[in-house]
Structure 1
Amino acid sequence: MKRLIEFWPILKRLSKYVNPYKKQLILASFLLLSGSISEVLGPILISYSIDNILGKHQLYFMTISIVIILFIILQILSVFFNYFQGILFNKIAVKVVNKLRQDVMYAALRQPISTFDSQPIGQMISKVTNDTEVIKELYDTVAPTLFRSGILIIVILFAMFTLEWHMAMIALLILPIIITIMLFYQYYSTPLLRKMRYYLSDINNKFNETINGMNVIQQFRQEYSFKEKIQQSSYLHYASRMKILRLDGFLLRPLLSLISTIILCNFIFLFIFFPIKIFEVGILYAFITYLGRLNEPLIAITIQQSVFQQSIVAGERIFSLIDSPQQKYGKNKNLLRSGKIEIKNVNFKYKNSKQNILKNINIYIPSKSFVAFVGDTGSGKSTLANLIMGYYPINNGQIYLDNTSINLISHTVLRKNILMVQQDPIVLSDTVFANIALGRNISEEKIWNILDTVYLSSLVKSMSKGIYSLLGEEGNNLSVGQKQLLAIARILVSYPKILILDEATANIDSGTEQLIQKTLLSIRKNCTLIIIAHRLSTITEADLIVVLKKGEIIESGTHKKLLNKKGVYWQMYKCQISKN
């Protein structure tokens, strides 16, 4: 009972997904009930025939023919009803899981960036795929099985009491024993099932890491090491699964079959000790048949406990994702009129970090200006860019965009007015057109104009299907520079007020860098441009260069001014020049 109370909130919430399909559920339940009744009426008909036709030697052709025809009709009806109820229940289950999967995926899409900093991607994928598939079994297997088994038990017990109540009372002895076994099974299996789901998520996560990092793994000859890690996770999952199977093997069919055999022996003893025809042969046949059929739904109910608990555990994991706090954005939906940025006294640290990543940052960036952030690795450049993007809430200090606090601006306005090109841009395994449009309504002509602007038109024209040519997974048929130009092409569909390039030219050749520089010159006329620079040669024309070190601004000014100062920036620039 305690477990049921614990599971009830999850079960209640999962059951709400069935509400739109109440009519189909009622029809499926009616068919299931009809199939169960048809199945139970068969032994009653045979019992009647044994006692009143065979026992009394009234072997008339017409009577026997009617009994046979009725029995066959009952079996056909049972098959018919059970077939269609199975189809209906599965149809409802697929629709419900489809909606649940959409909700989970939408929740994953709305997660704040900080969630992905700490949670392995494989675990989230497991929630969207494996956990929803487990819940599907709740609707298409567990619920119909429990309902059908419950109906069968009630109808069989009713038939037993109608035929002979003494024997029915003996048969009832099996129920409290079964309930006790079910409680034991639930108590010991629940923690094992939770572990098994965790280990499965861990396996998915390790596979995801291994496949994504295959180049590094093979380069450093770590195949055996990663193989051992996956084997360890697989073994833990296997060990948990084996414990559940041992539990099933002991507490379910063998034990229940033994109990049914003992009760059957009691029936035979009763038949021996009462020679005055209280128990007739037909009734004994019916009770033997019913006891066998009563055993099956009881075993089915006990077996479904395992799937039921897996579904509840999966439901807990899914709803933990759906209910996880979303990042709060403002409600101001006024579009930014300019790309002016003011950063005042901003201090910031990540969720699990003890020290501030950024310390007392103050920067003024006029609209349509060109600003560069430079500094050593870990100096806070990308973190500052992420704060301007609105990826993390600001709790200490303020960032103003067009004189409005970023905490007051709506998510829609932020995403429409501020865009970022990252060092490793994501390329979808889709067409060139889809990769640039990203679901936005845009004409082919505009796509070609954009491709001209980013110097990719000749490349795309050389492809077999032009803008409708498929790009490989993660754009593996494009060079690093071409990926960067493709990412910039996305920006040009609708010019933002603020554009951030995070080390966008760090890993490209000088020729592609010049193409990107030409593209950026045209973009500068329409928006504020912020570049996180690795190559200082790309930012010599910047209106403002901000030098960061350990989260603090140590220098700022134009390229010429900073060189004359002969400080940290001068040393960095001199070092790069000497290398070239």
Structure 2
Amino acid sequence: MKRQAVNRAVLQRLLRYALDDKRNLFIAIALLFVASLADVSGPWLLQRFIDNYIAVDQFPVADVATLVAAYIALMILAGVFKYAQSLRFNQIAIGVVQKVRKQLFAQVMNQPLSAFDYMPSGKLISRLTNDTESIKDFYVFVIATFLKNVTLIVVMLTVMFIMSWRLTLVVLALLPVVVGVMVVYQHKSASAYRRMRDLLADINSSMSESIQGMSLIQLMRQEKAFSAYFAGLTDQHLKAQIGVTKLNSVLLRPLIDLLSGIALLTLVALFGVGGTELIGVGVLYAFLSYLGRVTEPLIEMTQQLSLLQQALVASERIFALIDSRQQAYGEDERPLTSGHLACRDLSFSYDGKQKVLDNIDIELPHQGFLALVGHTGSGKSTLASLMMGFYPSSEGGVELDGRPLESLSRSVLRQGIAMVQQDPHVLSDTVRENVSLGREMTDDQIWHALETVGLAGQIKQYEFGLDTVLGGGEVNLSAGQKQLLALARVLVEQPKVLILDEATANIDSGTEQKIQHMLSVLRQNMSIVVIAHRLSTIMDADEIVVLHHGEVIERGTHFSLLSERKQYWQMYQLQQASDHLHHLEEASTETAEN
């Protein structure tokens, strides 16, 4: 009962989308009614011809010609109006799908980052494509079919009742049974279609992740394992489809054909008992014709229940995402006056159980340089994400320019603090679009940002300059160049705080020196936070904070931490030894080549 209530709520919400276009909906229903009336009039005209002319063996040319012309005209009229109403319903359906997709995509864009921690991209794509297509099918086939057939049945029953109320009762006795079959089918098929939709989303997710991680799969020789997993999902989906097909083969056409056959035999039996005195030959012909036309819409409506069920399941998933919590921002629109950043007794947990950060106190003055170091899993990137406002803190909070981070509006926060991540995303688009990302800016601003990060020389070598398309096999940037490009993106707007999350991890020593010089220049206008494994990048930091299992265990300048000879000193010694070995290997290679 609970599941049915949910379905009714989803169905009502789906229908409200169509009511937004009341004019088209009204016209479509009016066209549908006229088409049904014209379609039903055909057997009635034939009944009149049989009883009034054939039965009495009289064939007035003028009357017969009029009936023939009227019959042809009605059939043409029915066809024209069916076509017109079909176009209207398709327009409504396409409009609804476009609206839902826009709402859904806008909601995805405003989801908090925590929502993507447990939501594979393939499942999101499935909701944006397959699930919204189910809504289109709902309007094109389900709603149009139900309105058409209900209108057709009502008009036919009215005409039949006028002809013979006794025979109409026989047909009416069939309807409650068919409605019962439809209810049973909907109840039985709900879970099956929901499982089919879930498996289809898993299939899309598996394909997306496999394609994105193709280099890793081939490197680890896991092609067979991933193919086997994908094959397992498709086999489960096939079994679910077969289960639905079996259900359809029992509860749809075979059962309703049996019921219509019983009604047909009843009509013939009544004619055999009463003869033409009770039922005219023309009336019997009309009723037999109408019986076929009544049962066929009933079968068609029952068959559409499968699409209805798919649309309801898809809509449940879509509306759950549309109604989900958006990224929260404050209402403080005052521009930031400084890059003063502070973490006050900050603690954080992803699952509410295991703390990732515990009681962090950090103060970064305006134009300051803060470095975060520590072994993998120490909480550096999580702390940077909290500074960006990607996650709400569990305890304590982050302040920017003396104001709580959660009080700042979206525009103030995103313009005031920016991050260059370890693995930046590059669009399959021009250099210009990759830097601007849709923001209004001149080519001079873009070139200035590229000059600042030392990437302008590389771009000028390309034939099309800023119009060079990146990715797609045309021009591929190295890992280090991608990070420089990402750095240029954020420097265009000159944020008050710049966070570099391992942004120097994949660049050579020469580029690293340029980055260090650039950071010293940028400090004149902004505060800088650098997360780095390469300690040579942060030797000039005003303060270095060493994290271990989410706690601050050391803090100070580069030289003061070395003098303490604790974890930072150990990390520095290991890197020095590693760099020394690397230089020895290079020297050995050069000697061997000479």
TM-score band by shorter chain is over 0.9
Secondary structure in structure 1 of the residue aligned to 2:294: helix
Alpha-carbon offset, residue 197 of structure 1: 1.0
Q: In the alignment, what sits opposite 1:270?
A: 270
**2-structure distance, mates of 1:558, 1:535:** 15
Secondary structure in structure 2 of the residue aligned to 1:277: helix
Q: In the alignment, what sits opposite 2:18?
A: 18
Amino acid at match of 1:433: R
Q: How does 1:24-423 map to 2 (within 5 A)?
A: 24-350=24-350, 352=351, 354-423=353-422
1:428 aligns with 2:427: yes
**1-structure distance, mates of 2:296, 2:381:** 62
**2-structure distance, mates of 1:550, 1:4:** 48
Q: TM-score, structure 2 length as denominator? A: 0.94
Secondary structure in structure 2 of the residue aligned to 1:354: coil
Secondary structure in structure 1 of the residue aligned to 2:200: helix
Amino acid at match of 1:393: P
Alpha-carbon offset, residue 431 of structure 1: 1.2
**1-structure distance, mates of 2:193, 2:475:** 40
Secondary structure in structure 2 of the residue aligned to 1:530: strand
**2-structure distance, mates of 1:516, 1:50:** 95
**1-structure distance, mates of 2:248, 2:413:** 54
Q: Which whole-Å deviations, capped at 9, do the CAs of 1:173-216 have from their partners, x for residues lacking one?
A: 21121012112111110111111111111111111111111111
Check conservation: 1:264, 1:288, Cα contact below 8 A. Answer: yes
Check conservation: 2:371, 2:543, Cα contact below 8 A. Answer: yes
Unaligned 5+ residue runs, structure 2? 580-594
**2-structure distance, mates of 1:128, 1:519:** 42
Secondary structure in structure 2 of the residue aligned to 1:172: helix
Check conservation: 1:427, 1:474, Cα contact below 8 A. Answer: no
**1-structure distance, mates of 2:363, 2:184:** 67
1:523 aligns with 2:531: no
Q: Which whole-Å deviations, capped at 9, do the CAs of 1:404-433 have from their partners, x for residues lacking one?
A: 111222222111101000010011111111
Amino acid at match of 2:257: S
Check conservation: 1:373, 1:531, Cα contact below 8 A. Answer: yes
Q: Which whole-Å deviations, capped at 9, do the CAs of 1:308-367 have from their partners, x for residues lacking one?
A: 1221111111111111223433221212110111212111111x2522111111111111
**2-structure distance, mates of 1:203, 1:522:** 50
**2-structure distance, mates of 1:538, 1:265:** 91
**2-structure distance, mates of 1:297, 1:407:** 57
Q: Aligned Cα RMSD in Å?
A: 1.7
Q: In the alignment, what sits opposite 2:565?
A: 566
**1-structure distance, mates of 2:535, 2:474:** 28
Check conservation: 1:196, 1:240, Cα contact below 8 A. Answer: yes
Check conservation: 2:469, 2:475, Cα contact below 8 A. Answer: no
Quote the sequence identity (%): 45
Q: In the alignment, what sits opposite 1:495?
A: 494
**1-structure distance, mates of 2:363, 2:445:** 35
Alpha-carbon offset, residue 224 of structure 1: 0.9
Q: In the alignment, what sits opposite 2:6?
A: 6
1:449 aligns with 2:479: no
Alpha-carbon offset, residue 136 of structure 1: 1.4
Q: Which whole-Å deviations, capped at 9, do the CAs of 1:209-246 have from their partners, x for residues lacking one?
A: 11111111111111111111111111111111111111
Q: In the alignment, what sits opposite 1:460?
A: 459
**2-structure distance, mates of 1:95, 1:110:** 23
Check conservation: 1:387, 1:393, Cα contact below 8 A. Answer: yes
Alpha-carbon offset, residue 476 of structure 1: 7.0
Alpha-carbon offset, residue 2 of structure 1: 7.3
Check conservation: 1:330, 1:408, Cα contact below 8 A. Answer: yes
Secondary structure in structure 1 of the residue aligned to 2:395: coil
Alpha-carbon offset, residue 155 of structure 1: 0.8
Unaligned 5+ residue runs, structure 1? none
Alpha-carbon offset, residue 282 of structure 1: 1.2
Q: TM-score, structure 1 length as denominator? A: 0.97
Check conservation: 1:428, 1:473, Cα contact below 8 A. Answer: no
Check conservation: 1:426, 1:474, Cα contact below 8 A. Answer: no
Alpha-carbon offset, residue 498 of structure 1: 0.4
Check conservation: 1:331, 1:409, Cα contact below 8 A. Answer: yes
Q: In the alignment, what sits opposite 2:590?
A: none
Alpha-carbon offset, residue 463 of structure 1: 2.6
Alpha-carbon offset, residue 253 of structure 1: 0.8
**2-structure distance, mates of 1:276, 1:482:** 92
Alpha-carbon offset, residue 524 of structure 1: 2.2
